Chain A
């Protein structure tokens, strides 16, 4: 693999003489996609080729900082000049309570960095996608009454670079993979409705190795959806595997521990008890294959690992350059150009957005709760939630809630009948003294798994609110 192109340096060359502070973040992305309808290739896409840069100027405005920002796909002399003019114009309107923000300088000391490039994907993206599609279909061969009804795999290969007025310049490559597979179970007695398990994940690798195991799990969930009943109604112990936690914990933690929330009087209170005693939670920007991992953040500050919750108490915050200055701290390497809305869009198109404090990969270290089966053994009557439709947490209020797409009743320490429909919800990080997912943890499993922007083992929560009607017939 050759050295990644440094488009930011190319723009910086055209900015000689421009008063600082300023920085440029640039990307060259190539995206490839394969979409399957059943076992047929329905659509292939790529290369979708995109080059762009985002220019940020920091200007003193009435004792504060006016941030001028302009993104562009035009790298010509004229294109860069236009971006500068637009950014200067808007900087005059803008205000942020930083007095002397300092951009990182020199060549960042990044060590070995994390693994964030899938070499096979990088060298032959279209071929890798085709092979993955074939492996996916092969994983379902011979399964009676179970097929993938729809699959889409999207791979993005990006050369990212950052340069600024202090002379910093840095470029690196990364890969991102978005996977979506809908598995359908059908057949059997006449009139029995089909069932589906709809899987999605965001990662950095296209690894067909685990597909046979995954396909077996997905097929089981789809089959079980056909005979699932409504869950019970009430406050019950709930087991949440990483597959579900990935849709809940990162969204709340990144907001609650972001310096943006602190500056605005929102988010966690320093040193407050937000989690169970003994619980540590980290943000790790150097985790191998983490979707938020990179040698430097999107402002050029080296990434690292930060402890957000220490023994259950709120500890460090996530800072970018501007918020660090406003709050009298140093950047923690969390200046990220995130969309905040579309997770898949967070790994490319970054040049269209300005940096803000954002988490990398949230890590809940393994505990001593054992395997999933051993966790279940500790529950007399409860629910295992395998999938929530869309947890969509309320970041500010620190709560979540969603429909159970597939789960299992736990009876006397064993997984019992499947459940589906109904809702599960509660606090994630709430104010001191109120129940929440992280505060009311009774067991932390021993086997962590990386899912999206979370690395966590399975967790058992003492009580969460489940709504259901377990006297009702199975949903149609």
Chain B
């Protein structure tokens, strides 16, 4: 797999402005089957001599180990090319034009004297990946990704609180159009309001997740357990449940790398298999997992287009793309009433998987108390914990998809290999432990 990345980064805060071109990332990863295992080498640049050295290093490892059978699973034979630039690529805006948009976001966020510090970050890149294998696969693809974040910080009596407005997608300048003055002001108003927020309640309670937090649950808590390399290692709490009902009938959960424009979408994975929509939970029944060629062979399944490398230096293994919980038929007011007493968790920050133990951690920036079926006080950052299977069983309702947005995040598997993934969902009501963060 050969990779090239070019782009720009900009960071503007109350004290400094920093812009630069991204590192012109260029390199190649080689992989071969030794008879018993995959071996890989990689090298930066496309210099012929360096490539030859990397290839020789690979061959020297094969020479000592080639005693087993052929590589497991079906080799991709896909041939295809996706070289379409977005209608309005970021490159066309130029550094000055992009900077003007960054300054505008900054101005909107700083026109309130209570906001003491603001950081606006914008990055865009054009990435090319070219995958070739000995079975004839020849897959070229280009991605244009844009990501923007605005962080207003309010400070009072030594207490600092911030909110985050963050968006990202495949595409170009159109993403910037979605960042309106109103949305920035909502973030600054929230940062200020958080200065008066109370500590969240603590203990086991009804929890209503906002759409972004629902998406984080889909990815971190469920999706990682559905990566089939964990099945092969006997390291997934979900493995024995394949084919069984694990959630209410109204819950459907998918991984879909083929959504046009979504942050985690790809045309082909890094084994040359096309991306696809993979049903993981179908109306409450756990029906599928995410596969590379090796896990598909081991478990009698088919590759699902989920083999991904973070870059040419990262390994190719089973990863998610865009992981989503499909909408239900409640509206938010009904869910709040149904919650009766509990907490609404808003503005996801992160999650952490527990592939074998089936526990979950979700962190959010803020939320609201729900008392007597009404949204009441604003509360500060929270962490949610619980068993995923119990959480699924306790789901009482999912909202309609009134404002669909796939959140742009980065996923590490274990402790590294960060790559772009999308998460999505709708308001979801269940029950879990909550504490301050």
- Contacts from A to B (Cβ < 8 Å): 31, 33, 35, 37-38, 40-52, 67-74, 86-87, 89-90, 93-97, 149-150, 152, 154, 178, 180, 182, 184, 193-196, 198, 200, 225, 230, 233-234, 263-266, 269, 341-345, 352, 354, 389-390, 392, 394, 396-397, 399-405, 420-426, 431-432, 465-469, 472, 475-476
- Contacts from B to A (Cβ < 8 Å): 13-21, 23-27, 36-45, 50, 53-54, 57, 61, 95-96, 99, 116-117, 153, 155, 157-162, 202-204, 229-230, 232-235, 237, 313, 315, 349-350, 352, 354-361, 363, 381-387, 389-390, 412, 414-416, 418, 433-437
Query: Does B436 contact A425, Cβ atoms closer than 8 Å?
Result: yes
CB distance from B346 to the nearest CB of A (A): 16
Across the interface, A96 reaches (CB within 8 A) one of B16, B57, B202, B313, namely B16
Query: Does A399 contact B381, Cβ atoms closer than 8 Å?
Result: yes
If A44-B39, A93-B95 touch, whether A421 touches B385 (CB-CB below 8 Å) is: yes
Q: List 9 A-B contacts (CB under 8 A).
A: A74-B24, A194-B356, A196-B354, A352-B23, A354-B20, A422-B433, A423-B433, A467-B434, A475-B358
Query: Does A401 contact B436, Cβ atoms closer than 8 Å?
Result: yes
Return chain A residues, CB-CB under 8 Å to B36.
Answer: 41
Bound complex: CA A467 to CA B15 (Å): 39
Query: Does B16 contact A72, Cβ atoms closer than 8 Å?
Result: no
Query: Does B356 contact A467, Cβ atoms closer than 8 Å?
Result: no
Return chain B residues, CB-CB under 8 Å to A43.
Answer: 37-40, 315
Across the interface, B359 reaches (CB within 8 A) one of A38, A182, A425, A475, namely A475
Return chain A residues, CB-CB under 8 Å to B383.
Answer: 401-403, 423, 425
Bound complex: CA A234 to CA B27 (Å): 52
Query: Does B361 contact A402, Cβ atoms closer than 8 Å?
Result: yes
Query: Does A392 contact B235, Cβ atoms closer than 8 Å?
Result: no
Query: Does B235 contact A182, Cβ atoms closer than 8 Å?
Result: yes
Return chain A residues, CB-CB under 8 Å to B202.
Answer: 233-234, 423, 465, 467
Return chain B residues, CB-CB under 8 Å to A465.
Answer: 202, 435-436
Query: Does B412 contact A342, Cβ atoms closer than 8 Å?
Result: yes
Return chain A residues, CB-CB under 8 Å to B44.
Answer: 49-52, 73
Query: Does B99 contact A93, Cβ atoms closer than 8 Å?
Result: yes
Given contacts A397-B160, A469-B203, 13 further A-B contacts (CB under 8 A): A45-B40, A46-B57, A48-B43, A73-B25, A96-B17, A184-B234, A196-B354, A266-B155, A389-B354, A397-B161, A402-B383, A467-B202, A467-B203
If A73-B44, A265-B155, A469-B204 touch, whether A49 touches B50 (CB-CB below 8 Å) is: yes
Q: A472's closest neighbor in chain B, by CB?
A: B204
Query: Does A421 contact B352, Cβ atoms closer than 8 Å?
Result: no
Across the interface, B350 reaches (CB within 8 A) one of A46, A392, A467, namely A392
Across the interface, A389 reaches (CB within 8 A) one of B25, B315, B352, namely B352
Across the interface, A90 reaches (CB within 8 A) one of B21, B54, B354, namely B21
CB distance from A280 to the nearest CB of B (A): 23
Give the one of A33, A48, A71, A94 with max B CB within 10 A: A48
Across the interface, A422 reaches (CB within 8 A) one of B37, B39, B161, B385, namely B385
Q: A235's closest neighbor in chain B, by CB?
A: B202
Query: Does A403 contact B385, Cβ atoms closer than 8 Å?
Result: yes
Bound complex: CA A97 to CA B18 (Å): 12
Return chain B residues, CB-CB under 8 Å to A67.
Answer: 18
Return chain A residues, CB-CB under 8 Å to B363.
Answer: 392, 401-402
If A38-B233, A46-B41, A200-B415 touch, whether A95 touches B16 (CB-CB below 8 Å) is: yes
Bound complex: CA A182 to CA B413 (Å): 13
Query: Does A41 contact B26, Cβ atoms closer than 8 Å?
Result: no
CB distance from A358 to the nearest CB of B (A): 16
Query: Does B203 contact A468, Cβ atoms closer than 8 Å?
Result: yes
Return chain B residues, CB-CB under 8 Å to A467.
Answer: 202-203, 385, 433-436
If A44-B61, A263-B15 touch, whether A70 touches B20 (CB-CB below 8 Å) is: yes
Q: A179's closest neighbor in chain B, by CB?
A: B415
